[in-house]
Structure 1
Amino acid sequence: MTARHPGDNNSLKTYAAVGFGGALGAGLRYVIAIGALQTLGPLFPWGTLAVNMIGSGLIAWLAAHALMHPQGHVSRWHRFWFAGFCGGFTTFSLFSLEALLLWQRGQASLAVLYVLMSVSGWIIAAQVGHKLAR
């Protein structure tokens, strides 16, 4: 067995950082969803809309910050925030970052295709899952 680098993807500390970040993100998502439901009612999914927007903004800010301050490797804190917290808070955040990166690389048509395929695919998958459950 070889010694692991402190920033190694497979270290126990990295898994713990991602897990802890995910738990915090999911917990906060739940608090926001319940608060929005109790405050604004069930007519529109305000809580989900809010966490998706907050998560999308947060992951883009984190990515831009990481690019401006490269450390030569992805730190455990990056994994805590990206895969852990943002992943637990909302998976929509990574989708929005990926679409933004395609757009910024001059691949606007691919970014639009990705968004259209994703949203329509999610709705179709939800319909299929619902029908299979019945």
Structure 2
Amino acid sequence: MMELLLIGIGGVCGAIARYTIGLVVAKHSSLSFPIGTYMINLTGAFLLGMSTAHTAALPLAQTVLERYGLQIGFIGAYTTFSTFGYEAIRLLEDGEWRYFFSYVAGSTILGLLACGAGYSIFGG
């Protein structure tokens, strides 16, 4: 039961953070490139890499808050693959081929690099 509570609290915070950051970025960007989701997913990948490396070094009993509250709850709600997919399709529909390829390739490659960078901070 404690795990569900931690996931719920983390999820609410992650969803609010994603929504707020998306609004702020959209307000300051006139690009048709979905920079808000791009930034959110890259920072989420970085945080998940850091958190995963950090929890790997801890005894299992000490990882409950970080695993359920941060990784599953907060980061799970903060990042968004479905919005990424939707925005990629919208770029295609709008004829924004260059942005489409930059978004898809950049999100994939830089997301992996961000996760690896985050992991290397604690995983050494």
Q: TM-score range by the shorter chain?
A: 0.5 to 0.7
Aligned to 1:49: 38
Q: Larger relative contact order (C-alpha < 8 A, sep ≥ 6)?
A: 2
- 1 or 2, which has the higher helix percentage? 2
Aligned to 2:47: 58
* Alpha-carbon RMSD: 2.4
Structure 2 counterpart of 1:70, which letter? P
CA distance change for structure 1 residues 66 and 90 in 2, over 3 Å: closer, same or farther? same
Please give the alpha-carbon distance, in whole angstroms, between the structure 2 residues aligned to 1:88 and 1:72: 24
Q: Secondary structure at the match of 1:40?
A: coil
TM-score of the aligned structures, taking structure 1 as reference length: 0.56
The answer (yes or no) to whether the contact 1:17–1:76 under 8 Å persists in 2 is yes
Aligned to 1:36: 25
Please give the alpha-carbon distance, in whole angstroms, between the structure 1 residues aligned to 2:27 and 2:15: 18
How many corresponding residue pairs? 86
Q: Runs of 4+ in structure 1 displaced over 6 angstroms?
A: none
Please give the alpha-carbon distance, in whole angstroms, between the structure 2 residues aligned to 1:79 and 1:21: 8
Q: Secondary structure at the match of 1:41?
A: coil
TM-score of the aligned structures, taking structure 2 as reference length: 0.60
Percent identity between the aligned chains? 28
Structure 1 counterpart of 2:24, which letter? G
Gaps of 5+ in 1: 1-10, 93-118, 128-134
State the shift of 1:30 in Å.
Answer: 0.5
Gaps of 5+ in 2: 91-124
1:1-134 aligned at under 5 Å gives the runs 11=1, 13-72=2-61, 74-92=63-81
CA distance change for structure 1 residues 73 and 84 in 2, over 3 Å: closer, same or farther? same
Structure index of larger Rg: 1
Range 64-73 or range 36-45, more displaced: 64-73
Range 66-75 or range 15-24, more displaced: 66-75
